[in-house]
Amino acid sequence: MNDMADLGIEPSPRARRPTVFIIGLNNEMEDMAGVLRNYGSFTSPPHTDSNQENGGVTDAVTEGSDPLEKKSADQSSEPKPATMNRQKSYYTPSMVDELRKRNRLFFLDPITKLTNLHGFPWKLSLQIVKLVVITVQIVIFGAQRENTLEYFERSDLTYRHLLLKDWNVAYETLPYPPAAGQYAVYNLSDLFDHMNAVMERYYKIPDWSLASIHHNKDNETGHAYPIRLCFNANDFIEYPNGSYIVSATVLHNCTDIHPVDHGDIKAYDVQTYLNKHNFTLPFNRTLDITLSFYLRTFHLNLVETHYGPTCYNVSISVVYTNSERSGQLLIDLDTEPTEIECAGKIMSEEAESQQEAMTAKLIAFDAFVMVICFFSTILCSRSLKRCNKLRQDTAKFFKLHKGKPFRFSSHLEYINMWYIIIICNDLLTVIGSAFKIELETRVFSISSENYEICSILLGLGVFLTYIGILRYLGFFKSYNILILTLKTSFPHVLRFLVCAICLFAGFMLCGWIVFSPYHIK
């Protein structure tokens, strides 16, 4: 801040960061500017009196002296002509005044500019408009994402109730303590009964389900594709005395299972089918068994026609896990929907026209958000460029005129981090809006992964947008006191958090190592 003081700058109590205002040049700068008024100064050597130099020698010529010698002495006593010494600096008073004016305008806040200089705060106005439109965009996208993810979650629960034997609502909640134990089987009979139930329900699910669920059928035979059974097992050798050697190799094998035909009746018996086709499951070495198949369905929201119908090919896997070799086979069901093109006409012409109109409006609104962010980035980038140019000119002034380098802290005064934050949130919002448009136009598939990517981009963008508004709130006296308080106390809060984290980590690790093996969580 000493460099700022030399330029005639003093801190402003209203600024969030060390924002300063130019109040006038100090005496030192005024003196230097006066010296440089004519780009230099004329100096002449001091005139010395010949009488003083000769210790009181009379200026009269004594009797008997030569008149020529007297004339020569008079000529030698005349002063020499003046010489001009140039200064190293080339700054004139007008140049200094111009630099002072540029610094004064740079450190003024938009409110003061609007009040005193009648300049319109374009960046402030644009940030307010951007905040409104981004908030509306987030609300719209949040409703769309909530609707789609809610459909995926409810579909997953539907498949669990339709395909898993003895599944009930007690397994769907997470109370503490839980109302039911682990969903698992413990013997071969229960395992094959469960697998038989899954196979039977798979073939009968189009008739049982209240939703529109269909099989993926073979085009040649017209029958549903069979269930794929795969297992992973340890490879080890067991000896008659009860000892064995376990190999690090994991065996993997798969086969298709079909219902067993008994005339006009189909029996859903996995064990019989495997024995018939000489396929052995090494249960004493099995790590996990997986039953996988595909089902087709579609999602149509008639209340909010943002996307219209969406058809999915759902990959379903029923996994029996015994990786710990405890004898408890935990059962889980995984679903992974993949969007596919819908075959045939699902919506009426009126519904299709409404859906197309809604999609066009959403795309136009997203494009408008991108344009606002684009102009915001341009304005902030231009301001950063001007800040850097003023920083270079001021540093050059101190180097040439003052003869000392610009301090690093003074360089930081000209780097406005708020503009960098605004540019970052603009970039994130533009990328997220472009990603959202791709979802609207179905270039990207409607899936949980794509929604998560888009939500991360838009969420970070709106988060930084609201943080950027704090810069403009700091220009008001009431809010500035709070912001300065937060800024001042932030290092102390960090020190407190470091101490609290150390204490918490110590208690947590101690409790975890001592009590966690006996705790249900």
| CA atoms within 13 Å, Cβ hemisphere of 173 | 9
What's the CA gap between 173 and 160, in Å, rounded? 14
Would you list the domain boundaries of the chain?
164-347
Strands 260-262 and 265-267, bridge-based pairing: antiparallel
Residue the block writes with tokens 């231009």: 382
DSSP 3-state of 169: helix
Contact 41, 49 (CB under 8 A): no
Eight-class DSSP state of 488:
H
Number of neighbouring beta carbons within 10 Å of residue 181: 9
pLDDT value of position 161: 93
User: Which pLDDT does position 347 carry in this prediction?
Assistant: 67
Identify the three-state secondary structure at position 399: helix
pLDDT for position 257: 92
The set of residues, in sequence order, having a beta carbon less than 8 Å from that of 23 and lying 6+ positions away, is 8, 9, 10
Rounded Cα–Cα distance for residues 102 and 98 (Å): 6
pLDDT score at 39: 37
- Greatest Cα-to-Cα distance within the chain, rounded to the nearest angstrom: 164
Name which of 54, 47, 108 is nearest 80 in CA terms.
Answer: 47
Q: How far apart are CA 72 and CA 57, in angstroms?
A: 16
* Phi, psi dihedral angles at 178 (to 5 degrees): -65, 150
Block residue for tokens 């795309």: 363
Say if CB 7 and CB 42 are below 8 A apart.
Answer: no
Give the separation between CA 362 and CA 307, rounded to whole angstroms.
10
Between strands 83-85 and 329-340, the pairing is unpaired
- Predicted TM-score (pTM) of the model is 0.69
Give the whole-angstrom CA distance, residue 429 versus residue 431. Answer: 6
Here the tokens at position 272 are 């019989």
Burial class (CB in 10 A: 0-12, 13-18, 19+), 106: buried
With 0-12 CB in 10 A as exposed, 13-18 as middle and 19+ as buried, what is 110? middle
Count of helix runs (H) and strand runs (E) in the chain: 14, 13
Looking at residue 225, the DSSP 8-state letter turns out to be: P
Residues counted in the chain = 521
Copy the structure tokens of residue 162: 């339709």
Residue 354 in tokens: 């409404």
The dihedral formed by the CA atoms of 170, 175, 178 and 184, expressed in degrees to the nearest 10: 50
Q: Give strand pairing partners of 320.
A: 289, 331
> Exposed, middle or buried, 275 (CB in 10 Å: 0-12/13-18/19+)?
exposed
Are 292 and 228 in contact by the 8 Å Cβ rule? The answer is: yes
Contact 234, 247 (CB under 8 A): yes
Per residue of the chain (521 residues), give pLDDT as tens. 555 555 555 544 444 444 333 333 344 444 444 433 333 333 444 444 434 444 443 343 334 444 444 444 454 455 555 454 444 556 677 777 777 777 777 777 666 776 776 667 788 888 899 999 999 999 999 888 888 888 889 999 999 999 999 898 888 877 666 677 788 999 999 999 999 999 999 999 998 888 889 998 887 877 889 999 999 988 776 666 767 777 778 889 999 999 887 777 788 889 989 988 888 888 878 889 999 999 999 887 655 555 667 889 999 999 999 888 888 899 999 999 988 888 766 666 777 777 788 888 889 999 999 999 999 999 989 888 888 888 888 888 777 776 777 777 777 777 888 889 999 999 999 999 999 999 888 888 777 788 889 999 999 999 999 988 887 777 777 777 888 888 889 889 999 999 999 999 999 999 889 888 777 66
Phi-psi region of 39 (alpha: psi -120 to 50; beta: other; left: phi over 0): left
Amino acid at 390: L
Q: With b meaning 16 or more CB within 10 Å and e meaning fewer, what string describes 47-69? A: eeeeeeeeeeeeeeeeeeeeeee
